[in-house]
Amino acid sequence: MKEQLINYIADHPIIPVFYHDDLETCQHIMEACYAGGIRVFEFVNRGKNAQTNFKALLAYKENNFPAMKLGIGTILRVDQAEEYLKLGAEFLVSPIFNESIAKIAALHNTLWIPGCMTPTEIAAAQAVGCNFIKLFPGDTLGPGFLNSIRPLFSGIKFMPTGGVDVTEESIQSWFSAGVIAVGLGSKLFKKTENQYDYTQITAMCESLLKWTTNES
C-alpha cells in the first residue's frame, strides 16, 4: 500500500500544501487544483478548524474527486497522527523526524513522510523504514544539497517543501536533482486583493505538471 502510494505520487508529482479556516474556500481550492491535474493534496494541521475541515474534505473528495489522495501535514506528535489516521488520512507528512510517529504509521500501514534537513536525520529516518523523505525547508537546502547527499542514500526518494518557487527553472532544477515530487504552499496560492484566483491556480497547476516532465 505504501509503495503503491509513493508510485502514485511519482506519477502525480505536484503536491499542493494548504490550510484555510473556511471549509468552502478549502473545497474551491481542491476543485481548482484537481481541474489543473492535481491528484495528491496535503491539507495541513495548522488552524482551529483543521480536524473539522479535514474530515469534511475527505467526504467531499470521495464524492467529487475519488482519484485524489488526501493526506495531512504538519504532524508533530503521535496523538495528532492517531487522530488523523482515525479520520481517514491517506498519508501523513511532518516537518520533523520523530521515531514514535514512524511506529504509529507503520502500525496502520500508512505512508509517513518525515521532514529532514541533515544527512543524520535522513539516516535516522531510513533506519526505521522511511524511504520517502521531505527535504525541509526546500528553499534553504536547494537542489545542490540533494545533488550532494543523494549518492549516500540509495533507495530513498525525496520531496522538497517550503519555499519551492513556482517557476519553470525552479521546478526543473529540483527534478533534475532527482526528486520525485515537490510540495507547494503559499507561492502556489497567492492572493489578489485578499482573494484567491481559482482559474489562475488551475492554470498554474497545469504548468507545474508540464515542467516536471520538461513538456513546456
Q: Which residues are catalytic?
A: 42, 134
Q: Does 216 score more than 70 pLDDT?
A: no
The position carrying cell 533507495 is: 155
Q: What pLDDT was estimated at residue 162?
A: 93
The position carrying cell 504552499 is: 185
pLDDT digit string (tens) for 51-98?
999 999 999 999 999 999 999 999 999 999 999 999 999 999 999 999
Q: What pLDDT was estimated at residue 177?
A: 96
pLDDT digit string (tens) for 189-201?
989 888 999 999 9
Residue 174 to residue 189: CA distance in whole angstroms: 20
Predicted structure pTM score: 0.96
Residue 155 to residue 167: CA distance in whole angstroms: 28
Residue 66: is the preceding peptide bond cis (ω within 30°)?
no
Q: What pLDDT was estimated at residue 193?
A: 84
Q: Band of the pLDDT at 214, cuts 50, 70, 90?
A: low
pLDDT digit string (tens) for 160-191?
999 899 999 999 999 999 999 999 999 999 89
- 8 Å CB contact between 171 and 143: no
**What are the CA-CA distances from residue 170 to residues 31, 62, 181 (Å)?**
25, 33, 13
CATH of 2-212, one of 3.40.50.150, 3.20.20.70, 3.30.2270.10, 3.40.50.720: 3.20.20.70
